[in-house]
Chain A
Amino acid sequence: MNPHVILRVVAKMLIPLIALFAFYVQFHGDFGPGGGFQAGVIFASSIILYALIFGMAAAKKAMPPSWVRIGMSLGVLLYGGTGVATWLLGGNFLDYTRFAPESTHAAGQHWGIFSVELGVLCTVACAMLAIFYAFGSRVQDLSDEDW
């Protein structure tokens, strides 16, 4: 029997909650503390926790390195793309009011902030995971006595 069975059971319950909390922080960032950066780090830490407890190979199955590589650049593209979109709509770079110029409650700003924060989430989560994968994959699996 695995000596870490309690750790594994508890982690299995906690990891989905941590990931869910990341998305709460992301989409609630307009109203309370938080935002893309914090949400990205929390989401990355849920996967890192999975990797620490179930091993690197399992984590790479759950979140393949190719996704990480694509997500890193996709986030920056989403952020920059929002700016380019406002250009194409006739405004300045990142001038979100252009998304809904007639709105009386600044809906354009809300859409712009939403999309930009999504880009930050993507880049931060994937960059943190990329750094973790890069370091973690170099370490051979340790037995408990090695610690």
Chain B
Amino acid sequence: MHLSPVLFLNIGLMAMLIVVAIAVVRMRSLFAIVMLQGVYSLLSAVWFVSLDAVDVAFTEAAVGAGVSTVLMLGAMLLTDRDVKPIATKQKLGPLLVVIVTGVAMFYAIGDMPAYGDGMSPANAYIGAEYIEATKREIFLPNVVTAVLASYRGYDTFGETVVIFMAGLGVLLLLGLNGNAGQWRAKPNGRNIAKNVTPPRKHIEEAEEKPKVKKTRKAAKPRVRKKS
């Protein structure tokens, strides 16, 4: 193996990925973790570019570093800012499983085809056919688009439906304006409907109030009867 600048770049990128991953595991502040996950995505996007997978790198940078970081921040604001460490016993069983799997994977590296090998199973049969047929049948310079939208149109349709379902699921749970079916509550038999979910404090008050009022109402008639 000759030493090329690309090799050093790849080793550097992989080392940075490992450093970021360890930092994510060790951190306690969720804000920093979300930001580091964005960094991780950007680093892997760079790495994908160096592997010539430009389309994948594009997606990783846009989805992993862009949108999902914002969504994680939104989720974080709704929950908590810090991770509370949970004391766990040292478990030897899971550790053993992880080590055995890792060693098996390293053992399997020797059987993997060389990077970019034209005769590897992934490149030889259907892949070569698509590359050859795209020029003849679809007349598009970007083979990825041809495979994605035409040869594998069914798969992409499925993916689109999956994304639609994901959006739909979140909408059913949270509502498009954060008010699934509008926020309704019936404290003390009184209907309360609001366009927006009230902040936490108000919910707790609404939960506590009925108890107080119920006892009052229950108490009042008795007094009246006596008088």
| Interfacial residues, chain A to chain B (CB-CB below 8 A) | 25, 29-38, 41-42, 44-45, 48, 52, 60, 65, 68-69, 72-73, 75-76, 79-80, 83, 93-94, 96, 105-106, 109-110, 112-113, 116-117, 119-120, 123-124, 126-128, 130-140, 142, 147
- A41 engages B196 (CB within 8 Å): no
Residue from A48, A72, A142 within 8 A of B168 (CB atoms): A72
**Contact residues of B: prevailing secondary structure:** helix
- A116 engages B58 (CB within 8 Å): no
- B residues in contact with A38, CB < 8 Å: 55, 58-59, 62
Question: Which of B70, B142, B148, B173 counts the most A-chain CB atoms under 10 A from its CB?
Answer: B70
In the complex, whether B156 has a CB less than 8 A from a CB of chain A is yes
- A32 engages B142 (CB within 8 Å): yes
- A residues in contact with B175, CB < 8 Å: 134, 137
Interface size of B by CB at 8 A reads 52
- A132 engages B62 (CB within 8 Å): no
- B residues in contact with A112, CB < 8 Å: 149-150, 153
In the complex, whether B124 has a CB less than 8 A from a CB of chain A is no
**Contact residues of A: prevailing secondary structure:** helix
| A37, B168: Cα distance in complex, Å | 17
- B78 engages A120 (CB within 8 Å): no
- A residues in contact with B149, CB < 8 Å: 35-36, 112-113, 116-117
- B170 engages A131 (CB within 8 Å): yes
Q: A42-B66, A65-B176, A113-B149 are in contact. List 6 more A-B contacts (CB 8 A).
A: A29-B145, A41-B59, A94-B150, A96-B150, A112-B153, A134-B174
In the complex, whether B32 has a CB less than 8 A from a CB of chain A is no
Given the known interface contacts A35-B149, A117-B149, A131-B167, the answer about A138 and B58 at a Cβ–Cβ threshold of 8 Å is no
In the complex, whether B205 has a CB less than 8 A from a CB of chain A is no
| A133, B62: Cα distance in complex, Å | 18
